[in-house]
Amino acid sequence: GAGVSQSPSNKVTEKGKDVELRCDPISGHTALYWYRQSLGQGLEFLIYFQGNSAPDKSGLPSDRFSAERTGGSVSTLTIQRTQQEDSAVYLCASRAETGELFFGEGSRLTVL
């Protein structure tokens, strides 16, 4: 596609449920990032995939969070046993050869 695509755009779930957020990066971009943004706050780094290298998971806040990237393209961020503090916008970005990041519109997660 022309840009980074994320789905769902909005997700409302109950505390304790698992959620999956999907990211389709720009074709040919080898690096992919996940960030979390709470209302009025900055972008909190979660995880970074670069080619075939092991992902940098240093930003994942707890072991309830995991992510994978299949075939070097689509990525899924999974949050298990969601908590209310997980409510935020989850942003995915892929990186061009120039170093510029292209962001998707985000998945807004609300945990009731």
Partner 1 sequence: GQSLEQPSEVTAVEGAIVQINCTYQTSGFYGLSWYQQHDGGAPTFLSYNGLDGLEETGRFSSFLSRSDSYGYLLLQELQMKDSASYFCAVRVPPGGKLIFGQGTELSVKP
What type of residue is 105? E
Q: Is 5 in the site for partner 1 (CB under 8 A)?
A: no
Number of CB atoms found within 10 A of residue 68's CB? 12
Q: Is 45 in the site for partner 1 (CB under 8 A)?
A: yes
Q: In whole angstroms, what is the distance from residue 38 CA to residue 68 CA?
A: 22
Q: Is 41 in the site for partner 1 (CB under 8 A)?
A: yes
Q: Is 100 in the site for partner 1 (CB under 8 A)?
A: yes
Q: In whole angstroms, what is the distance from residue 47 CA to residue 33 CA?
A: 6
Contacting residue, 32, 48, 60, 109, with partner 1 by CB under 8 A: 48
Residue 85, classed as helix, strand or coil, is: helix
Q: Is 50 in the site for partner 1 (CB under 8 A)?
A: yes
Q: Is 99 in the site for partner 1 (CB under 8 A)?
A: yes
Going by C-alpha positions, the residue among 75, 54, 51, 50 that lies closest to residue 65 is: 75
| Interaction site with partner 1 (CB under 8 A) | 31, 33, 35, 41-45, 48, 50, 53, 56, 58-59, 91, 93, 98-106
